[in-house]
Amino acid sequence: MASYKTKLKLYLEANSKTFDRAKVSIQDNMDNGVSAPFIVDWNYDGLEKPTAEQIASYETAGNAEETLSDVLDKRKTEYKDFGYQLDLLYHDMTAGKLDATGEWAKKIKKVKDDNPKS
């Protein structure tokens, strides 16, 4: 289930706005252990505060957004740092392998293959 914040962010983006903590305040009142978030303050000019139904309509898109974010976070970890990647590129360059046969290209391809976006 997508988070309330993710669905709200998508609602705002669909209405040409960006999420800004200075403009919106969310509170979560737990109801028998179940999360029940809602908007406390809304300060977006030209855009009415969304209804619960409007926010709920972004569930599918929110799930997709969060799944993609998880994949990108996993890729980022597996790519390792830039120093490691530059070292791979340097060795590929000195070996004349600045193409898909180089170690850097093979490493990046493996990370992408192991963590597809869809």
pLDDT of residue 111: 97
Which residues constitute the domain of residue 36? Answer: 1-76
**Looking at the predicted structure, is the pLDDT value of residue 35 above 90?**
no
Asked whether residue 50 falls in the same domain as residue 105, the answer is no
Compare 32 and 83 and report the one with higher pLDDT: 83
Asked whether residue 41 falls in the same domain as residue 87, the answer is no
Count of domains observed in the chain: 2
Asked whether residue 5 falls in the same domain as residue 37, the answer is yes
Instruction: For 99-111, give one letter per residue: b (16+ CB within 10 A) or e.
Output: eeebebbebbeeb
pTM, whole model, 2 decimals? Answer: 0.75
